[in-house]
């Protein structure tokens, strides 16, 4: 059985979140949580929250045991981009794109 959790509009660029997301697939849930807790990156904290949400969905909604769950996939996609402008030389403006991400964690039982 597959259980999923989705986090939308997380305030981190997808490229930075994918660096941590590549570490999680095919690991047990306890190992993946340990990776998220020990990594000093913001993406690890956000993915850890999504992973804990998927784990809670599995335990509460489907009565699955934590020891039997494995991270099947972690997908990080782009979300909406907030566009801002910063003044530059000679009256021009430089565009700043504040990127967001959608993160999905899929768990499966052994």
pLDDT digits (tens, 9 = 90+) for 42-73: 999 999 999 999 999 999 999 999 999 999 99
Block mean pLDDT (10 aa), the chain, length 110: 96 97 96 97 97 96 94 97 97 97 95
Q: How far apart are the first and last CA of the chain?
A: 9
Pick the CATH number of 2-109 from 1.10.10.10, 3.90.650.10, 3.10.580.10, 3.90.470.10: 3.90.470.10
Provide the CA 87 distance to its chain's centre, in angstroms: 33
* CA atoms lying within 13 Å on the CB side of residue 12: 20
**Who contacts 77 (Cβ-Cβ below 8 Å, separation ≥6)?**
14, 101, 102, 104
């Amino acid at each position: 059985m597959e259980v999923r959790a989705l986090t939308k509009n997380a305030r981190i660029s997808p490229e930075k979140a994918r660096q941590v997301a590549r570490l999680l697939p095919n690991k047990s849930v306890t190992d993946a949580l340990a990776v998220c807790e020990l990594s000093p990156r913001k993406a690890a904290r956000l993915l850890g929250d999504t992973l804990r949400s998927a784990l809670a969905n599995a335990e509460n909604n489907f009565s699955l045991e934590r020891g039997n769950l494995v991270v099947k996939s972690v997908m990080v996609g782009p979300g909406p981009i907030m566009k801002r402008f910063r003044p530059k030389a000679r009256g021009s403006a430089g565009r700043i794109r504040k990127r967001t991400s959608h993160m999905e964690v899929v768990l499966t039982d052994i």
